[in-house]
Structure 1
């Protein structure tokens, strides 16, 4: 039985928390899972947690990483899967301690650089792509970009699985069941274009706007007053500028009819996968990260990125759907998700790639 060491940086835990237990039970691999981070956390049922005692820029962390890798006998593993940045000392320590023939598969959450990337992330990603040879891509468009820019490197495509927060447990958010309820969810940052969405909803024709309500739910670190001023006295929009507790997430995604993703750039979206878990169709910009996951008019709606008029037209199409058409869209979405983003379907991609390089 081939042995796999699975290393997860704490920020990437959500991506791995369903995959690793599934692979432990449904593959022929023997998996050891370590989660490393700066927070104080207990060990989990499926993993051992290791707290990092120094900042990433501290040379002492290089020594610490090498000590950990020696203790767990990293040389004895047949494959190492690494969902980790840890720049600049993590990978030098790992490559020093592992057997030179053991492949390292890096989970490339960051691939094609966006203008908003900080310089440190740009350097980190370039370093990872230079020194490593095997990678996972989480979207088809990043896979295409990577193949074009690094043709000699090996990679496989496996998207994030749908994200399940369980059944509805709360009744906190009020919606009007006589209207089409739209949801914007997640941390509010500039590239998500909440400003565009607010303007689009406010400028909908009266005959459409009276049948719509938008709930904005998520933490807004900066600019909250600007958004509130932009909304003004518009009764069609409600705001919940706060961190949404996990137990309230199922309620939000079950009470609304469409999830809105007006982003101007993204590689992959966690909230998108939450929506798909709860079979909630989306209205999304046509950037590559969404266009590969939304079949326009079939399991959701797409609109041209940063185009307010196109967004208004997409919302209008959603509002004018008959009940039968909406249920057909949800049925199409469920079939699409089961085929492409279910835990079983995505996990098989890992198994196939690991088998191919072992």
Structure 2
């Protein structure tokens, strides 16, 4: 089968690009695959991070992708469609995570469908975490230009059914990010990062945005003793000043270690090997790639009961689920995790579940969906 994959690839960086690279590598084992990506992914106004692109220090899987689509130049939509048509794909795969991409991806998808190519979109989110006027209309526009969908959480599945009750789809959880390599010893990891060897290390990891609840974790740290160290690692989307002020207001600087920058793939094993638990105090979510990074290192997760997080983290088996957003409740759950020595049994459970989150299984789900679309 000939598969065209239009989404974020090298030279762009971040979790979406990592996901696409892993799935591309799985597809190419059995099929002819061509990657297509953006000439411009976001205008600077919509990207508050440091850079959208890989830097010389980044360790990436440089998928050879043709840069064909400018998201804010409608003329490029038709040029991109012609480039994909020239490949003559049987299947077009795309990833959708915010309404901003609906006009560009939807236009390309619509043109290829008219020429007989089947189109499947992998849905990270449908309803955005931070809504803007016109979002719902854009989502509808995009959905109607696809043949099938992969929902990675039950929350997205429900949203999809509300928008498109007749949608043909498969529910398949986010695979484990296994391209980071193996864990290293806790002592080595802590030495690399300059972290104390005798503290209980709690990790908050990933791009920092308001909906991810870092403020809740910082306030929770005020209810933890000095034997804890909260590691905050990730690039800030916007201004970190409000969190700096909160660290002082809560008087927790002494038990927080900050790495406020983009974390390169080569550094990831150190953070997840140094930590004893990963905390996701999200205020809204559908699913999270951070959970699947943690699971790659058999690191249990404490997460709030929002979106699909409780589907990914099995309460009292692979982590703990917080039913409220109160900082004191989060602190109690963190203390419970350590007091009851839950790391070892939860890690064993994670190791036994890895096969359920394989890239091979995810790719096969897409191909089976394609077959059912063709037969319809």
CA-CA distance at 1:261 after TM superposition: 0.2
Give the number of equivalent residue pairs.
Answer: 340
Q: Which moved more, 1:177-186 or 1:227-236?
A: 227-236
1:320 and 2:339 aligned: yes
| TM-score (normalizing by structure 1) | 0.84
Q: 1:257 aligns with which of 276, 299, 305?
A: 276
Q: Secondary structure at the match of 2:33?
A: strand
CA-CA distance at 1:46 after TM superposition: 8.6
1:66 and 1:93 in contact (8 A); partners too: yes
Q: 2:291 aligns with which of 248, 272, 275?
A: 272
1:23 and 2:27 aligned: yes
Residue of structure 2 in register with 1:7 after alignment: 6
1:96 and 2:96 aligned: no
Query: For 1:89 and 1:141, how far apart are their aligned partners in 2?
Result: 25
Matches within 5 A, 1:56-75: 56-72=71-87, 74=88
Matches within 5 A, 1:219-258: 219-232=235-248, 233-234=251-252, 235-258=254-277
Q: Who wins on radius of gyration, i.e. which is larger?
A: 1
Q: Secondary structure at the match of 2:363?
A: helix
1:15 and 1:160 in contact (8 A); partners too: no
Residue of structure 2 in register with 1:128 after alignment: 142
Q: 1:214 aligns with which of 216, 230, 243?
A: 230
Q: Secondary structure at the match of 1:38?
A: strand
Query: For 1:136 and 1:311, how far apart are their aligned partners in 2?
Result: 32
Q: Secondary structure at the match of 2:120?
A: strand
Q: Which moved more, 1:12-21 or 1:90-99?
A: 90-99
| TM-score (normalizing by structure 2) | 0.81
Query: For 1:196 and 1:156, how far apart are their aligned partners in 2?
Result: 34
Query: For 2:261 and 2:17, how far apart are their aligned partners in 1?
Result: 22
CA-CA distance at 1:246 after TM superposition: 2.2
User: Where do 4+ consecutive residues of structure 1 move more than 6 Å?
Assistant: none
Q: Secondary structure at the match of 2:193?
A: coil
Unaligned segments of structure 2, at least 5 residues = 41-52, 55-59
Query: For 1:130 and 1:354, how far apart are their aligned partners in 2?
Result: 16
User: What RMSD in Å do the two structures reach over aligned CA positions?
Assistant: 2.7
Structure-2 change in CA distance of 1:300 and 1:66 (3 Å): closer
Query: For 1:296 and 1:226, how far apart are their aligned partners in 2?
Result: 32
Unaligned segments of structure 1, at least 5 residues = none
CA-CA distance at 1:274 after TM superposition: 0.9
